[in-house]
Amino acid sequence: MTKQKSSARFRFSGVMLFLALFFFLVPALQAGDYRLYMLAAGVPCAMLLCCTILARAFSLDRLILALSLFFCSVGIASLAMTAPDTALVQAVSCGIGIIVLIVGAILIRSLSGSLLTAISAAFLGLLLLAAKLIAPTFTLPATQPALTLLLIAFAVLLSREGPISAAGLGIAAAVLLMLRGETADALIWGLTILLLLFAADGRLLVVLPSLAAFALLFYGMYSMQTQTLVYPEALSADTLKAVGVLGADLLPEGLAVPETGSLFSRLLGHYGLVFTGLTVLLYLPLILRGTTVASCARMRFHAILAMGICLLLGLSTLASVLSFFGFLPFTGLEMPLLTTSLPSLCAHLFLAGILCGISGRNDSDLAEDAHLAMLAK
């Protein structure tokens, strides 16, 4: 069984590396740009290094790690064709993100679900959200890092203190997000904590009042913000035909490409509908692996945190895709791991690192159980 596992992982890593090489080598040969050659050499090497040496050294989950690195490389590749300088900057950002991923994996092993952790994380998270309201000149995109900290605090409170304090923290965060005008993030956060409350507690006495509170909150804010909620302009038939199945070297007209933020538009324009659809589908194994890690966790805190990460990443992905095609009245939503914003990228990779750390902890618990069983014989 160990040989089969390692050969399957080897094949999977090989496929990911081949794809990463293909993304950068072909444009490098076409354009002859030295920056693209640097990316063609650097990105697959970094992936190989992380998936082999670092994964073994820090006991990281290889599937989660490989998928996270693949999304990072796809983000760099979507910039490489038309903006090689930005692609280099994105590669450096991903390098910083990998360090944050390792920090997250190490931290979760030593982090206990104590009240001090909850209070510190909650305080920092709420402060980051309230910073823009207190000081309007604070323009750093701190939403994703704040949600990361708040999720950790929520998981500790839910596992240790009970649902009431956790729900209170969740509602406070949702209010702050709405006051900042980030309705989409507030909706995703609200759904995440409602589903976590249902999963961890399950009592109707807890879930129904929380649902009612969130419904009232969202209804109140929706009625105040109806004018600002505008459905994004849907992609026209000409744009979709120009994008085609395999994409184009130059981005077609009608495809709104922001200078910063989500790379989804660039990915669609350069690599076409089929590849983009397959990339979105690759989020599913990442989330399924996360839910498996959550189900196998021994500590309640780790289980709730892992499940919360999966819900947050999954709902963000779905909201981003649906809003891009005009099904939701939100604009500028970012896909997890496919963003040029350094704080958001680091926050998502930190969450992936936490998942890797919990998976490593599960494996070490299993190994300890096997050792104890052997000693008992």
Q: Of these, 181, 202, 220, 258, which contacts another protein (CB under 8 A)? A: 202
Segment 89-148, which members bind another protein (CB under 8 A)?
Answer: none
**Residue 176 CB, nearest distance to another protein (Å)?**
25
Expressed in angstroms, the distance from the first to the final Cα of the chain is 23
Residues that contact another protein, how many (by CB under 8 A): 34
321 is a contact residue toward another protein (CB under 8 A) = yes
Spatial CA neighbour of 353 closest among 46, 108, 121, 155: 108
Those residues with Cβ within 8 angstroms of residue 367's Cβ, 6 or more apart along the chain or in another chain: none
Segment 256-315, which members bind another protein (CB under 8 A)?
Answer: 273, 277, 280-281, 283-284, 287-288, 291, 294-295, 300, 303, 307, 310-311, 314
Phi, psi (5° rounding) for residue 162? 120, 175
**Residue 98 CB, nearest distance to another protein (Å)?**
26
**Residue 40 CB, nearest distance to another protein (Å)?**
31
- 346 and 96 Cβ atoms separated by less than 8 Å: yes
Phi, psi (5° rounding) for residue 249? -70, -40
- Quick one: 58 or 283, whose CB is closer to another protein? 283
255 is a contact residue toward another protein (CB under 8 A) = no
- Quick one: 38 or 191, whose CB is closer to another protein? 191
- 151 and 195 Cβ atoms separated by less than 8 Å: no
Q: Of these, 26, 107, 130, 199, which contacts another protein (CB under 8 A)? A: 199
Q: Of these, 45, 219, 325, 366, which contacts another protein (CB under 8 A)? A: 325
331 is a contact residue toward another protein (CB under 8 A) = no
**Residue 335 CB, nearest distance to another protein (Å)?**
12
- Quick one: 52 or 295, whose CB is closer to another protein? 295
Dist CA 293 CA 61 (whole Å): 10
**Residue 54 CB, nearest distance to another protein (Å)?**
28
Q: Residue 130 to residues 37, 116, 127: CA-CA distances in angstroms?
A: 43, 21, 5
200 is a contact residue toward another protein (CB under 8 A) = yes
Complete DSSP assignment for 56-76: HHHT--HHHHHHHHHHHHHHH
Q: Two tokens at 321?
A: 């895709």
208 is a contact residue toward another protein (CB under 8 A) = no
Per the listing, tokens 């890593």 go with 13
Return the sign of the alpha-carbon dihedral for residues 123, 169, 284, 267.
negative
- Quick one: 8 or 234, whose CB is closer to another protein? 234
Q: Two tokens at 70?
A: 């693949």
Binding site for another protein (CB under 8 A): 195, 198-200, 202, 234-237, 240-241, 273, 277, 280-281, 283-284, 287-288, 291, 294-295, 300, 303, 307, 310-311, 314, 318, 321-322, 325-327
